[in-house]
Amino acid sequence: MIRVGNCSGFYGDRISAMREMLDGGDLDYLTGDYLAELTMLILGRDRMKDASLGYAKTFVRQMEECMSLALEQGVKIVANAGGLNPAGLAAKLSGIAENQGLKAKIAYVEGDDLRERAQELGLGSPLTANAYLGAFGIAECLRNGADIVVTGRVTDASVIVAPAIAEFGWSRTDFDQLAGAVAAGHVIECGTQATGGNYSFFREISDMSRPGFPIAEIFPDGSSVITKHDHTGGEVSIGTVTAQLLYEISGGRYAGPDVTTRMDTIKLSDDGPHRVRLSGVKGEAPPPDLKVSLNTLGGFRNQADFIVTGLDIDAKIKLAKQQLEAWLTKPPAELRWEVSGTARENAPTEEQASSILRCIVKDMDPKIVGRSFTSVAVELALASYPGFALTAPPADAQPYGLFTPGYVPQESVPHVAVLADGQRVDIAPAPETRPLEDAPESSLPAKPAVTETRQAPLGAIAGARSGDKGGDANVGVWVRTDEEFEWLAHTLTVDALKKLLPEADGMTVRRYPLPHLKAINFVIEGILGQGVASQARFDPQAKGLGEWLRSRHLDIPVALLDAEGNE
């Protein structure tokens, strides 16, 4: 068994987490995930300003503090913090080691950056183009003695899968073992989301003051136990692990460059306090193509937030819209209105008596959504609805990005392990592939008999976790008993979801039951426009979408509500 900890779930996560994990108890490996679709755009803009950048600078700060401690303890570090410049990050880390008098073997993995070949590969002319590599390049570095391995774009779970490959000698076709490690990696790669963070039933956790980061104990057969260091906050339970397994997935098949993991085969069991065992995971050959993260500059955006207070809210909003649109000398390519907050009647405070009217504009010309727009918004101040106010003066136009996925054959992407001694080792693509298709429809429990029901929020019995998948969003809903799943499986249909979430009406929604997890996952296509950077809705990464769903009311059997202790 190896103990693999995590100390970062995104670029900007808790800066002290690396030291906390090294100080907190025994580890063999410490990993970090620093990359997301939006992060690649941020790093791309960094690289435009300074070609020597393009990596996660917070990781450098962590390593300046913790490199000596990790080497002293024999804990190997694996992180995708290299972003768009893993070679530059490796050189920076070598400089830290030299300055501190440390002997550290530092290796890196490259080949994912396809920007220079984007047109040749049919990917257009993006700002960034990075293929999602797998774990075998990292494993090659570790097998050759690396103390620290940094990468560019690899799949999030790969930094956790690679130590298991290196330790246990798994081959490219040990699909069940690889899939088991991917499942463990998927649980811990988002950090404290596995230990109570963003958890629907957070009120049931006794100590949420500072959740500890998660650990995966991975075994040679691919099974694992999710846990955390003793005496840290948060909780590891079947519920917290289920929630994270549902995060940013689609259906029963979860594709990666090394293996397609059958999410519909994962079985969870209690292994003691703050210990959850994952077993039974099945894997299949990966698809023949690699996914590519493509970011382009979409143009410029701006917004103005109007405070609308008191009586005649609808009429005031109508007037503001009519005036602003009529006063603009040149309409922007895109103009969108949103209203947030609902002004209460006879409210005890002014804020509760107010709504926010938001005007969002986009155009390729920064002048149109810059001064031309902001001037009109300000000029309305003495000529519009009573009580006119802005939350803040409108700002200058800001560039925004667009994310789109691309796909290229595995064999067209170089995958190179650059060992600590400078030797370059080419990593061959997967020797066996299988086109991706939906998993077979899972058999559902029998439909329960109709019983007395009561209107109540779905969250009275169900948890949810949601997130972004490019322009799509996923919402995973789970319950905790077989009786609840019998009801959920036959009640929460696609049509029911669209009624509960009217913003999804008219969109394609796909539904995937996962009976082993007592869960149903939905993918809502296009609800996020062209990805988080395009800011298509006020919750651009759909983080709150699941909690909105939980707050919606429907008829729930009284017996289930009473069993959960809900009045």
Q: Read off the pLDDT of residues 298-354 as tens digits, 9 standing for 90 and up.
A: 899 999 999 999 999 999 999 999 999 999 999 999 999 999 888 899 999 999 999
Residue 70, SS3 per DSSP: helix
Q: Where in the chain is the domain with CATH 3.30.70.380?
A: 300-396
pLDDT digit string (tens) for 504-536? Answer: 999 999 999 999 999 999 999 999 987 776 666
Structure confidence at residue 402 (pLDDT): 87
Do the beta carbons of residue 147 and residue 170 sit within 8 Å?
no
Average pLDDT over residues 348-362: 95
pLDDT digit string (tens) for 46-71? Answer: 888 898 899 999 999 999 999 999 99
Query: Residue 458 carries which DSSP code?
Result: G
Q: Residue 219, Cβ neighbours under 10 Å: how many?
A: 18
Residue 79 has pLDDT above 60, yes or no: yes
pLDDT digit string (tens) for 539-560? Answer: 889 999 999 999 999 999 999 9
What kind of fold does domain 300-396 have according to CATH? Alpha-Beta Plaits (3.30.70)
Structure confidence at residue 555 (pLDDT): 97
- Beta bridge pairs of residue 315: none
Structure confidence at residue 566 (pLDDT): 63
Average pLDDT over residues 158-177: 98
Q: Is-above-0.85 flag for pTM?
A: yes
Structure confidence at residue 237 (pLDDT): 98
d(CA 113, CA 408): 13
Structure confidence at residue 451 (pLDDT): 85
Pick the more confident residue, 440 or 5: 5
Return the closest-CA partner of residue 294 out of 125, 83, 444, 67: 125
Residue 144, SS3 per DSSP: coil
Element (H, E) at 324: helix 313-327
